[in-house]
Amino acid sequence: MKCPARSCNKLDFVPPLACLLVILLFVFRVSAQTAGPIAHWTFDEAEGDAAHDSIGHADGKITGVYKSVSGVLGNGLRLDGDTSGVIVSAAKMPHLKGSFTIESWIAINAYPWNWVPIIDQRRDEQAGFFFGIDSFGHLGFQLSANGVWQSLTSREPLPLKRWAHVAATFDESKGMTLYIDGKTAGEQDAKGPFTSAEEADLLIGRVRKPLIPSQWIHPKYPVWYSFDGILDELKVTNGALSPDEMAGQYARIRPPAGDALPYPALPSGPPGAGSFGAFYATLKYEELWDAPRRVGPDSDVVVRFDQSPMRLVSWQGTNYVPAWVTENGKWYSDEFVETGGSPGCPDGEDCEPMSDKQNLYAHVRVLESTPARAVIHVRYGQCEVEHSICANPDPFTGWTDWADDYYTVYPDGVAARKTVAWTSNFKTWHEFQETIIINPPGTRPEDNIETNALTYVNMKGETVTYSWEHPPVAVSQPAGANIQVVNLKSKWKPFQIVSPVHPLLSTYSGEKSYSLFEWWNHWPVAQVQSSGISAVAPDRPSHTSLSHIEGQHYEQTSNSITKIMLDGLTDQPASELAVLAKSWVSPPELVVTDSEFKSNGYDPTQRAFVLDRKAGSSVSPLRIRIGAKDDAPLVNPAFVVNGWGDAQPRLKVNGKLVSWGHDYRYGRVNSLGADKLVVWLRMKATSATTMEIDPL
């Protein structure tokens, strides 16, 4: 309907009803565009997969793995950092015109791999807006103003684990402003009209497309990921709130004090010492990490000790790579077999079990568990991050590189590690050991490792310690060093012993790091496709590498390489390990003085003397004489007697009865068609020693 001849804008004219409605509608639209919330997601829903908009109809669908948790008001939405997010269809989202404000309460569990939105409605970098955080925890605001894509980043990062009020405003006449906890955190002149992306779906807490994480070293694959933390009270408002109004918004809510999210502990089983042995276990880490994993119960293994709270843990979060855990929770691993530069892997990438993010090719099993010793076996394929085991394919059989790790563990915290690398290509390098410290979330390498991080020892007991003091001080190793001690901030410290024949111990350095030490977080736990990401904060589980140890092959066949070493935890001075090394490298001669048995010599892969009862012989005592001496000592020896039978053994050393308990253990191991007795002693000797094992 047209107005009468008299103009509608003259004050002395009272318009008809139709013109009045037009004017009221215009006033309402202008008002709606200049002030007032247009969408508000409280995330109070305790169940279901919908995030309700309490202002209008911009309800969203929650996807992936998520959980409703306590928020600053009512509930909040806990996203997992990998899969979860909220999608609001473009048709439901009110259109932004002109100036606007975004605000939310967030608690960051871990910084993202690259920019991740708190809220995002944009078309490439041409229209719309983005509000989120970067890989260092900085708050960011991006939008299209006057046809130009503008970006503003906060000066300081947001805190981890604690609630923070974050906000951004765009004023067409002034520009962009960021706020953290009611205070200005950044400003940028960006005048002009805002160009919206009305056709784009709105995303909350989830990247719009796969991105290459900013701190990645290799390989640089784009990946999907999401916000890792809690979102609450997310609001979009027409009009730019003033600094005073923003301070009032922050002061309106008092969030719970302290950390909103705890640092999860790396799982190692029940605390404290316990019965010695290897035990299948179900090790839980963090609820949202555990939830999508498709593994059954008792898929992990823990070796526990009765004289110390230390343990050896083979857990799915480390791809079952065994790790020593000290009395105060420091984690250490001697790595695994890694195949480098294989022609079968894409772009010549290294292949290793830490790249097997879903454990498609890795598992652990218990071979023995008795009071005398435990034996665990870890088998894994040489995998790259695209889930393929492609290293060195055999042209005839199609077999690629695989590996078997056997840990024979005794009650004194010492293990004989036997590693077999199966391969059809001996020209590419195969790495067998890397000195790796696993940093639990909430800790930096400096929290776990002494600055004087490594001590090298030779067979004479001579020691040299390496420092990582700006940069690592290079010092001369003691001649023939074949022993290493890792100086963790713990009473019990990891050690490694290899053959003194051509040992090579070398420190690890040279890659970019935000620590005094090398520091990465692509392993353990991380599920993204990468084998090299520099850690920037102690938010995730991470690891540090200090050195490599190389030594001679113990055995080589047409399709395998075997290497051995001793490793474990010790509370003794580093120089004392030379005595243990001698007992393993040059064990004393053992002579059987009973005709019913024969000696098979010392097996360093088991750290044990091996004997056989002769076929058809009667049950009789085993009597042996061991020629221990200074350069061939006995240190906590073990004896494996094949064919012993069911009799209970009674032990005498130098004619004296040794009681079962702290210093004497035995166990029987039965298998198809065979049985054996394993005896372990806690003792040291450098002179001739006699032993008698009587069947009872």
User: What digits encode the pLDDT tens for the residues 630-650?
Assistant: 999 999 999 999 999 989 999
Q: Mean pLDDT throughout 220-236?
A: 96
603 close to 610: Cβ distance less than 8 angstroms = yes
Judge if 35-251 and 277-577 fold alike in CATH terms. no
Residue 563, pLDDT > 90, answer yes
Question: How confident is the model over 672-689, as pLDDT tens digits?
Answer: 888 999 999 999 999 999
Q: Once rounded to an integer, what is the mean pLDDT over residues 375-388? A: 93
pLDDT in the model for residue 618? 75
Residue 113 phi/psi, 5° resolution? -70, -30
Question: Looking at residue 2, what is its pLDDT?
Answer: 37
Q: Give per-residue pLDDT as tens, 316-373.
A: 999 999 999 999 999 999 999 999 876 666 666 789 999 999 999 999 999 999 999 9
Residue 354, token pair as written in the block:
């830490």
Reported confidence tier of residue 106, pLDDT bands at 50, 70, 90:
very high
Q: Kindly state the percentage of the chain with pLDDT values over 70.
A: 93
Instruction: State residue 14's pLDDT score.
Output: 40
Percent of the chain with pLDDT over 90: 83
With contact defined as beta carbons under 8 Å apart, do 398 and 389 qualify? no
pLDDT at 594: 84
The predicted pLDDT at position 48 comes to 95
For 230, other C-beta atoms within 10 Å of its C-beta total: 27
Instruction: Tell me what pLDDT residue 220 has.
Output: 85
- In this structure, the strands spanning 374-381 and 362-369 are antiparallel
Q: Kindly indicate whether the domain formed by 35-251 is annotated with CATH number 3.30.160.270.
A: no
Lowest pLDDT segment from 115-129, 349-363, 498-512: 498-512
Domain 277-577 has CATH 2.70.98: yes
CATH number for the segment(s) 586-695 = 2.60.40
What is residue 3's predicted lDDT score, i.e. its pLDDT?
A: 39
| 25 has pLDDT over 70 | no
Using DSSP, state whether 467 is helix, strand or coil. strand
What does the alpha-carbon distance between residue 300 and residue 278 come to, in Å, rounded to a whole number? Answer: 10
What pairs with residue 361 in β-bridges?
none
The mean of the pLDDT values for the chain is 92
Cβ neighbours of 669 (radius 10 Å)? 19
pLDDT at residue number 474: 64
Q: What is the pLDDT of residue 390?
A: 85
Phi, psi of 402 (to 5 degrees): -130, 170
Does residue 5 surpass a pLDDT of 60?
no
**Distance, CA of 69 to CA of 44 (rounded, Å):** 9
Query: Which range among 65-69, 74-78, 216-220 shows the weakest confidence by mean pLDDT?
Result: 216-220
Q: According to the model, what pLDDT value does residue 33 have? A: 46
pLDDT reading at 434 higher than 60: yes
Q: How confident is the model at residue 13 (pLDDT cuts 50, 70, 90)?
A: very low
Domain boundaries, the chain: 35-251, 277-577, 586-695
- pLDDT of amino acid 551: 84
